[in-house]
């Protein structure tokens, strides 16, 4: 069996809908997954135009392999992960997350609701291309069930994990923008159940994403920002297409970077639990380490990728984790980025701390980041990285971290050089205590790449 993946990317298969991602493709791939699972599999999808078609195709493939299927309908990715961990042997989510409307994807989950590991992906590809999935005899074809209570259960369990009474008493004014994605089925109800005054934007599910692009970056959230200011709201919240990421807007209308949200929640989690293991990636802020040091936490850094963070949290029995893009993971709830728990937790922090979001952000350690990229042919990437690592080791006493690409740590900041998995480029990302220094460090990173690139 080759180790080179033929279909799967960082989390599932993502392609243009009904081009590569046809019903025939989805059915056969799902049958290959079902061959591996041989149990009860939950299936859900996001709000894309192609999701109902792909959900039916995936269900057919699973039934054909002899798996029973529980149809969860349209809901956020973490809703499926929640259901699988609690009740089922596996799960399939149809989503292209934050990508434009024409895309869709298939994510497969293990029994814990975590994206399946590499060896299982390779085994599925092997069945798909070189062999045949199991086809059950007529009397062993799977059965279809429905679970339409799972969304309520998922939302209610998140509420049970925070001080809902304190949130109700705080009378918070909240604006939420679901971008017409799957968060429309959870976020407004969650916030209303927590007693907040909620105003919704783009909270009608719509696969054309008419209100805004599904990626919750600042340029796509201008309407949310102006509504927060106009209404004098305490906070604005936005989700991506499958509602696993959460972005906050403070009461002044400022876009809050994902690593700031991460650090605010990290601080609260460590305070409440008297310390614990925090898992993030090598590309996140030093502020996470500073807070961990202050509140008795231990930080473990993985290579970039939410699945790797989720698996490490599971393996180490971690307290909290996530990425800098607004994807926060609460491992006692869902082993994956989860928006429902993130929203409940942030509202709880506002209520308990009795501070505005901008004040909470202002209390955090301040670092400045600089990001850039440079072209480099794929076949040269390995050599460039090992040459840079070799030079740093031999000529400096800077610390090196080779978890993902080359990270060079100096006394006043760090720079990381990472090869893109999908494009012929290196990303170069630095952080320091001033913007000038951060910019200088990315320049230095680029100069190192140029030196060894032919
Ligand atoms: Mg997503």
- State the average pLDDT over residues 355-370: 96
* Tokens, residue 12: 């599932």
Residues 206 and 338 in one domain: yes
Residues 209 and 92 in one domain: no
pLDDT of residue 2: 54
8 occurs within a structural domain? no
Q: pLDDT above 70 covers what percent of the chain?
A: 99
Domain boundary among 362, 377, 398: 362
- Give the C-alpha separation, 195 to 104, whole Å: 35
Of the three residues 101, 132, 148, the one that is the final residue of a domain is 148
| Residue that has been written with the tokens 């220094």 in this structure | 437
Q: Are residues 281 and 384 in the same domain?
A: no
Confidence at residue 422, expressed as pLDDT on a 0 to 100 scale: 76
Across the range 119-127, mean pLDDT stands at 95
Give Cα separations from 75 to 51, 115, 145, 173, 310 (angstroms): 11, 17, 16, 25, 20
Strands 103-109 and 144-146: unpaired
Could you read off the pLDDT of 291-336 as tens digits, one per residue? Answer: 999 999 999 999 999 999 999 999 999 999 999 889 999 999 999 9
Give the model confidence (pLDDT) of 102-120 as tens digits: 999 999 999 999 999 999 9
Residues 100 and 29 in one domain: yes
- For residue 446, being part of any structural domain is answered with yes
Q: Tell me the pLDDT tens digit for each residue of 180-213.
A: 999 999 999 999 999 999 999 999 999 999 999 9
Report how many domains make up the chain.
3
In a shared domain, residues 235 and 342? yes
Q: Is residue 32 part of a domain?
A: yes
State the pLDDT at residue 3. 66
User: Quick one: DSSP state of residue 203?
Assistant: -
Q: What was the pLDDT predicted at 6?
A: 85
The pair of three-digit structure tokens given for residue 371, joined into one six-digit string = 């990001």
Domain with 422, as residue range(s), is: 368-452
Whether residue 344 has pLDDT greater than 80:
yes
The whole-angstrom separation of Cα 291 and Cα 364 is 8
**pLDDT higher than 90, residue 421:** no
227 shares a domain with 289: yes
Residue 314 is part of a domain; what is its CATH number? 3.40.120.10
Per-residue pLDDT tens digits for 250-300: 999 999 999 999 999 999 999 999 999 999 999 999 999 999 999 999 999
Average pLDDT, the chain: 96
Report residue 73's pLDDT band, with 50, 70 and 90 as the boundaries.
very high
Q: Is residue 2 part of a domain?
A: no
If asked whether residues 244 and 325 sit together in one domain, one would say yes
Q: What order of strands is seen across the sheet that includes strand 103-109?
A: 13-16, 103-109, 90-94, 40-45, 68-74, 144-146
The helix or strand, by DSSP H or E, that contains position 166, with its residue range, turns out to be helix 164-170
Cα–Cα distance measured from residue 381 to residue 282, given in angstroms and rounded to the nearest whole number: 19
pLDDT at 31: 98
Q: For residue 1, name the pLDDT band (cuts at 50, 70, 90).
A: very low
Tell me, yes or no, whether 185 and 311 share the same domain. yes
- Does 1 fall in a domain? no
172 and 28 co-located in one domain: no
User: What is the CA(240)–ligand 1 centre distance, in A?
Assistant: 6
Locate tokens 């909290």: which residue? 320
Going from the Cα of 325 to the center of ligand 1, the distance in angstroms, rounded, reads 10
Distance 243 CA to ligand 1 centre (A): 6
Provide the 8-state DSSP code for 148: -
Q: Is residue 6 part of a domain?
A: no
Centroid of ligand 1 to alpha carbon of 244 (angstroms): 5
Q: How many whole angstroms from 13 Cα to the centroid of ligand 1?
A: 14
Q: Does 156 score more than 60 pLDDT? A: yes
- Ligand 1 centroid–CA 437 distance in Å is 32
Ligand 1 center from residue 327 Cα (angstroms): 8
Look at residue 7 and tell me if it is in a domain: no
Please tell me the distance between residue 339's alpha carbon and the centre of ligand 1 in angstroms: 10
CATH number at residue 390: 3.30.310.50
Strand order in the sheet with 235-239: 197-201, 173-177, 235-239, 246-249, 255-256
111 in any annotated domain: yes
- Ligand 1 center to 239 CA (angstroms): 8
CB 175 within 8 A of CB 231: yes
Q: pLDDT tens digit string along 171-185?
A: 999 999 999 999 999
Do β-strands 235-239 and 246-249 pair in parallel, antiparallel, or remain unpaired?
Answer: antiparallel
CA-only gyration radius of the chain, Å: 22
Which among 148, 183, 200 is the end of a domain?
148
What is the average per-residue pLDDT within 148-163?
98
End-to-end CA distance of the chain: 33
Residue 197: in which H helix or E strand, if any? strand 197-201
Say if residue 349 is in the same domain as residue 438.
no
Could you give the residue numbers annotated as active site?
Answer: 97
Within this chain, do residues 345 and 206 fall inside the same structural domain, yes or no?
A: yes
Q: 265 with 349, same domain?
A: yes
- Please, which residues have CB less than 5 A from ligand 1, an ion? 97, 240, 242, 244
How many whole angstroms from 127 Cα to the centroid of ligand 1? 28
């Amino acid at each position: 069996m080759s180790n080179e993946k033929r279909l799967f990317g960082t989390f599932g298969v993502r392609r243009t809908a009904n081009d590569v991602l046809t019903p025939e493709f989805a059915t056969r791939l799902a049958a290959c997954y079902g061959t591996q699972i041989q149990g009860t599999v939950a299936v859900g999808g996001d709000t894309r135009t192609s999701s109902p078609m792909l959900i039916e195709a995936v269900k057919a493939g699973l039934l054909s392999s002899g798996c029973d299927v529980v149809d969860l309908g349209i809901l956020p990715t973490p809703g499926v992960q929640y259901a699988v961990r609690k009740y089922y042997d596996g799960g399939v989510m149809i989503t292209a997350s934050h990508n434009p409307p024409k895309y869709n994807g298939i994510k497969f989950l293990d029994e814990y609701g975590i994206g399946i590991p590499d060896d299982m992906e390779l085994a599925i590809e092997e069945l798909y291309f070189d062999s045949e999935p199991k086809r059950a005899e007529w009397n062993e074809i799977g059965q279809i069930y429905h679970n339409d209570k799972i969304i309520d259960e998922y939302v209610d369990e998140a509420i049970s994990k925070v001080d809902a009474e304190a949130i109700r008493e705080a009378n918070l004014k909240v604006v939420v923008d679901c971008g017409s994605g799957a968060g429309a089925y959870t976020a407004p109800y969650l916030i209303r159940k927590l007693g907040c005054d909620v105003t919704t934007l783009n909270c009608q599910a719509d696969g054309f994403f008419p209100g805004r692009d599904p990626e919750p970056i600042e340029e796509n959230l201008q309407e949310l920002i102006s509504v927060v200011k106009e209404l004098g709201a305490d906070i604005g919240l936005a989700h991506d297409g499958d509602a696993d990421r959460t972005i906050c807007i403070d009461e002044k209308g400022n876009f809050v970077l994902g690593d700031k949200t991460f650090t605010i929640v990290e601080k609260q989690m460590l305070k409440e639990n008297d310390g614990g293991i925090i898992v993030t990636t090598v590309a996140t802020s030093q502020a996470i380490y500073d807070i961990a040091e202050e509140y008795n936490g231990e930080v473990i850094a993985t290579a970039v990728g939410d699945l790797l963070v989720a698996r490490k949290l599971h393996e180490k029995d971690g307290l909290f984790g996530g990425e800098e893009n607004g994807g926060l993971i609460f491992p006692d709830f869902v082993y994956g980025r989860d928006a429902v728990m993130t929203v409940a937790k942030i509202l709880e922090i506002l209520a308990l701390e009795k501070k505005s979001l901008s004040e909470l952000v202002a209390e955090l350690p301040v670092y400045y980041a600089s990001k850039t990229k440079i072209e480099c042919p794929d076949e040269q990437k390995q050599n460039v990285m090992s040459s840079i690592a070799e030079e740093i080791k031999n000529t400096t006493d800077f610390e090196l971290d080779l978890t993902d690409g080359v990270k060079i740590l100096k006394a006043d900041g760090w720079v990381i050089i990472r090869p893109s998995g999908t494009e012929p480029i290196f990303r170069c990302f630095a952080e320091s205590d001033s913007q000038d220094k951060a910019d200088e460090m990315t320049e230095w990173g680029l100069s190192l790449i140029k030196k060894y690139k032919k």
